[in-house]
Structure 1
Amino acid sequence: MSQNNFLDVIPYGDLGIVALESSRSIGAKVDRYISSWRTESENSEESIHFTSYKKDSYLIDTTCPRFGSGEAKGIINESIRGKDLYILLDVCNHSLTYKLCGQINHMSPDDHYADLKRIIAAASGKARRITVIMPFLYESRQHRRSARESLDCALALHELINMGVDTIITFDAHDPRVQNAIPLSTFETVQPTYQFIKAMLKNVPDIQMTPEKMMIISPDEGATSRAIYFAGVVGVNMGMFYKRRDYTKIVEGRNPIVAHEFLGADVEGKDVVVIDDMISSGESMIDVATELKRRKANRIFVASTFGLFTNGFEKFDKAYESGLIYRVMTTNLVYQPEELLSKEYYINVDMSKYIALLINTLNHDASISGLLDPSERIHKVLKKYGQIED
């Protein structure tokens, strides 16, 4: 999207970006994109509407120091009065630590969410508008009640709105219906399909995105909508697995999977893309890849918005070495250890420019509908790489 679209649109307020410690890396990239675009803009700062429009950085200095007991407080070290504030955080960044009674604790999603609330509380209603960009939606896996249990995600959404948050933006929500918890508030869930397609075309020169050469695979019924969109916009077929579980047992908090049953056309000789919202332990992805190879699939690409790798990388290393998996793609929306970035089979999908576009567009109070539906951009990149004819 051209930034020239915003030349005649007055910003909603002075832009301020709060990248909490969990998102400092991607926050810095986002900041550089916006600063570069606005430096090249023809908007004149002589106009009262564009005062402080062009800056070297829009990052707000904040911190969440902790006491020896492990308790913390949020501090904003500069004025945010009247600013259009965008708070970016990664609740999955387990690399950060703090001391608790002399012991080292790794920060959990609960800790990151608490820090978000501390910064919102520190703003004390002085910001003109607050938008929270939380790529991995806090407690999104606890989105529905199947027993006498808490609905943590819905409670968190209510809490943020009640604290004065105007908009919540997340990526690839585990179940987007959770937005029904706050029907009168703005909640956007963004799909990174365009970035996945672009990364594949850029990093795999011999890829052929045609019905004869490729299929999109949903590893379970929950990911079907993602696979349908991916397959539909590229113009290839899709298939899906459903997990047959043993509901008489509970292992590590869930019913164990007995088998993966496949529904779809023949995958023999085709490259396949297995797409899902997250890689947690990775067991399900490995099982699906094994089933696809048994059906004589060619190269297997694993594409997941969030690469958590809760059990490490050993399984994926072995899967790559044995030829089971060809490439693994995840985004930088959550913490990526250096070990992952150095893997030969890993493709990093950078989302910083996309987030910068969202922030810059919203700050100008312009529509983001074109960003939420990337069909046109996908077709352009497919033409660019010769996948479809003009």
Structure 2
Amino acid sequence: MEDKHMPRDERHTETIPVGALGIIPTVSCQSLGEKVNNYLVQWREQRENEHTGTLAFTGYRRDSYIIDAKTPRFGSGEGKGEINETVRGYDIYIMVDVCNYSLTYSLSGNINHMSPDDHYQDVKRIIAACGGKAKRINVIMPFLYESRQHRRSSRESLDCALALQELTSMGVDNIITFDAHDPRVQNAIPLNGFESVQATYQFIKYLLLGIDDLQIDSDHMMIISPDEGGMSRAVYFANVLGIDMGMFYKRRDYTRIVNGRNPIVAHEFLGSDVEGKDVIIIDDMISSGDSILDVATELKRRKARRVFACATFGLFTNGFKKIDEAYENGIIDHILTTNLVYQPEQLLTKPWYINVDMSKYIALLIDTLNHDASISDILNPVERIQKRVNEYNEAHKH
């Protein structure tokens, strides 16, 4: 019997597609886009249904759903969007990774690395190149552009809200992001589709695949939130697994400002005893990695057994030296981050790294949305998590 959450069943063909499916991965998202496309090609090839030969399903089975689109640059560094095949009547999914710092272009003879601003601008160029001909435009932006600038604490710009309003005013119907820093930014576009998708199931899946001696109960494991902002994420994770959680809060010195922020004096812990337990730190992103390492150090000081860190986005803005040292010193055992943002080759070879592949999940979201079917059950992975944990426990009975 096939898992009802899998897209090979007939649920999808009960509804007519919104339009012919087209995926446009921008240059920042090429490899992820290709993986997503491969899943869709494979699933739709296998899907048997009496209606797929009808007019409403025209172009349903294709060798590739990727639309030929480019964002070339002039010598001055200015760019433009080009689409080299028809998109009339298509249901378009534009994929972008605003954190991909590996791409460059020439700026009057100088090599310039693409910034999040450049990637965001390229999305707008692709939308503009569609020229209003597409049936519907959806943007899949795993790391939400400017999501860390989500609220105003003084005379500051509200960049994330501005970007969302700008995209919807250009005709974008749905914006799909992952683990938004603060999902309340969707209040900026209350009449449009905005989904902040969690990677909880995939973290558990890859943790169970990568580590074969976990004991998932409150005597042997605990979930940790590294700060007060990530509480709800950790509470969900802990409740689904049926284990305890703890949290740290950052004690800051509000009398001083260093590099634009109040410096952290200490990480204070709230929660039950972690001694002898495997702990899983769960967060939305690892930027420099300092915060995760501070928390891991504190947990080890409290005699935690092993420390695993899960973060949706591994940016590693200061490189890997400190993390390598922490791994060698037994402070951290494994870090899991997703392939939703650019991963340098160097990261993929690290002994402490577990890569969490999200391409199948994105393909499932696209497939379902293209059929205008509800994605509620895809966004709620409780059953799938419990099934996987039960299978793991059965396979690893001592």
Which TM-score applies when normalising by structure 1? 0.98
Letter in 2 for 1:112: H
1:140 is the counterpart of 2:144? no
Residue in 2 that maps onto 1:366: 373
Contact 2:13 2:371 survives alignment (8 Å): no
* Runs of 4+ off more than 3 Å: none
1:279 is the counterpart of 2:286? yes
Instruction: Return the offset for 1:7.
Output: 2.6
Deviations 1:295-335 (A, max 9, x none): 00010001100000000001110000000000000000000
Contact 2:12 2:371 survives alignment (8 Å): yes
Name the CA shift for 1:365/1:68 in 2 (closer, same or farther; >3 Å): same
Give the gaps of 5 or more residues in structure 2.
Answer: none
1:14 is the counterpart of 2:20? yes
Q: Residue 30 of structure 2: SS of its match in structure 1?
A: helix
1:40 is the counterpart of 2:46? yes
Letter in 2 for 1:13: G
In 1, distance between residues paired with 2:22 and 2:103?
24
Instruction: Return the offset for 1:248.
Output: 1.9
1:217 is the counterpart of 2:224? yes
Instruction: Return the offset for 1:131.
Output: 0.5
1:228 is the counterpart of 2:228? no
Contact 1:12 1:365 survives alignment (8 Å): yes
1:26 is the counterpart of 2:32? yes
In 2, distance between residues paired with 1:163 and 1:183?
16
Contact 1:197 1:378 survives alignment (8 Å): yes
Instruction: Return the offset for 1:43.
Output: 3.0
In 1, distance between residues paired with 2:31 and 2:215?
33
Give the gaps of 5 or more residues in structure 1.
Answer: none
Residue in 1 that maps onto 2:165: 158
Residue in 2 that maps onto 1:198: 205
Q: Residue 148 of structure 1: SS of its match in structure 2?
A: coil
Contact 1:270 1:298 survives alignment (8 Å): yes
Residue in 2 that maps onto 1:315: 322
Q: Residue 72 of structure 1: SS of its match in structure 2?
A: coil
Contact 1:43 1:50 survives alignment (8 Å): no
Which of the residues 339, 347, 353 maps onto 2:346? 339
Q: Residue 385 of structure 1: SS of its match in structure 2?
A: helix
Deviations 1:50-88 (A, max 9, x none): 111101100001101101111000001110000000000
**Structure 2 counterparts to residues 255-334 of structure 1, below 5 A:** 255-334=262-341
Deviations 1:89-126 (A, max 9, x none): 00000000001011111100000000000000111110
Residue in 1 that maps onto 2:215: 208
Number of equivalenced pairs: 389
Instruction: Return the offset for 1:2.
Output: 2.9
Contact 1:382 1:388 survives alignment (8 Å): no
C-alpha RMSD over aligned residues: 1.2
Letter in 1 for 2:32: I
In 1, distance between residues paired with 2:395 and 2:141?
35
Name the CA shift for 1:205/1:335 in 2 (closer, same or farther; >3 Å): same
Residue in 2 that maps onto 1:52: 59
Residue in 1 that maps onto 2:99: 92
Instruction: Return the offset for 1:387.
Output: 6.8
Sequence identity (%): 68
In 2, distance between residues paired with 1:387 and 1:139?
44
In 2, distance between residues paired with 1:273 and 1:67?
47
Instruction: Return the offset for 1:249.
Output: 1.9
Residue in 1 that maps onto 2:382: 375
Contact 2:91 2:136 survives alignment (8 Å): yes
Contact 1:134 1:169 survives alignment (8 Å): yes
Residue in 1 that maps onto 2:79: 72
Letter in 2 for 1:81: R
Instruction: Return the offset for 1:35.
Output: 0.4
In 2, distance between residues paired with 1:46 and 1:327?
49
Is the deviation greater in 13-22 or in 43-52?
43-52
Q: Residue 172 of structure 2: SS of its match in structure 1?
A: coil
In 2, distance between residues paired with 1:6 and 1:117?
30
Letter in 2 for 1:2: M
Contact 1:30 1:352 survives alignment (8 Å): yes
In 1, distance between residues paired with 2:53 and 2:317?
52
